[in-house]
Amino acid sequence: MGAHHTEHVERRDLRETAHAAQVRELTAAGVLEDPAWRKAFAAVPRHEFVPWFFTGRGAGYERLWGEDPDPARRARWLRGVYSDAPLATRLRDGELVSSSSQPSLMAKMLTALDVHDGHDVLEIGAGTGYNAALLCHRLGDEHVTTVDLDEEITESARAHLARLGYRPAVVTGDGARGCPARAPFDRILATCTLPRIPLAWLGQCRPGARILAPLSTGLLALRVRDAAFAEGRFLHTAAYFVPLRGAAGSSADRPGQEYGLPYELVENERFQFMLLLTAGALHPREALDLWRSEGRPGRERFGVTVSAEGQWSWLDDPQGPYVWPLGEEEQRGGG
């Protein structure tokens, strides 16, 4: 009994030490400058939301587990949990369906969300529940709603959250439809890559609300005017997420290769962003010519307009001259 208790205390101490070290590292990296988010990351341990994760690819996936009887494998799990990396947390038929996002990217997104006391936030893509817990710590449970299409994911997230005493609204449903029953919202945060912005979200926002969503391989920050119009620019930050369920394509795609574009451009992150953003509107060669003539623009020079008439991406100015129809029709999804 004594030995078991000692081992339990040692495991707890190792986890607390690793958690504290990560908060220090994120702070040193400059992504936790806001004291409120620094406190949230210090209060919410990632390991409680990632009891296991998968490493490797395809048939070679290996499951690392926090309760593994092998101390070396437990140590690998703990190092992974507190690394600044995304972790595969749920697979189906060998395909990744849910993950725990890279902590530094989470911190950047939460900061960019620009929340204030009293704000009501809708999160699209519940994942492990870790992001919702950070929001609950910052805003209070009653101000946080998280939605996912997959009941297994929402049940797991709800259990993780409850174990630490957080009880936001965890809803199983189509994230593309938002959550009308909990509207209106001041902020909507998506943690899954979208082909376009679901128009239903705008109607569930208060005027002036902010939507932050991964699109192409960037983070789009939209200001909502009303139920029929929102507009905004991309942050400079790169962002790779699991696609909205049912959405076509993947952020891991490398379009352009089949057109014989030079390898260094196929692998150029900034060019890939533009290529994905203008897919279907520009031939890859046209995109390349424009990208070069405009000084190889980064993500922050691009933006998106969402209206009842349609959605457009643009370079520098929503009025043109460089404006393209955006993406495909909305599809079912939730994380």
| φ and ψ at residue 134, rounded to 5 degrees | -65, -40
DSSP state, residue 249? S
Q: Which residues contact 120 (CB under 8 A, 6 or more apart)?
A: 143, 144, 145, 182, 184, 185, 186, 187
The catalytic residue among 83, 98, 100, 293 is 98
Tally of CB atoms within 10 A around 132 = 30
Q: How many CB atoms lie within 10 A of CB 151?
A: 10
Beta bridge partner(s), residue 146: 123, 170
| Measured CA angle at 96 (ends 63, 123), to 5 deg | 110
Phi, psi of 177 (to 5 degrees): -95, 0
CA-to-CA distance for 257 and 23, rounded, in angstroms?
Answer: 40
Query: pLDDT, tens digit, for every residue of 146-201?
Result: 999 999 999 999 999 999 999 999 999 999 999 999 999 999 999 988 989 999 99
Q: Which of 102, 113, 83, 90 is nearest to 22 (CA)?
A: 83
The pLDDT of residue 50 is above 70: yes
CB 129 within 8 A of CB 146: yes
Structure confidence by residue, pLDDT tens digits, 205-258: 999 999 999 998 999 999 999 999 999 999 999 998 877 653 333 334 445 455
Question: What is the pTM (predicted TM-score) of this model?
Answer: 0.90
Partners of 252 in the β-ladder: none
Annotated catalytic, 98?
yes
Domains, the chain, in order of start with CATH, read: 2-173 (3.40.50.150)
Please report where in the chains the tokens 């209206």 appear, as a residue: 307
- Of 94, 97, 81, 102, nearest to 242 (Cα)? 97
Task: Kindly report the number of other CB atoms within 10 A of residue 4's CB atom.
Answer: 8
Averaging pLDDT over each range in 84-88, 97-101, 163-167, which range is the top one?
A: 163-167
Burial class (CB in 10 A: 0-12, 13-18, 19+), 200: middle
The pLDDT of residue 333 is 44
Answer whether 104's CB lies under 8 Å from 31's CB: yes
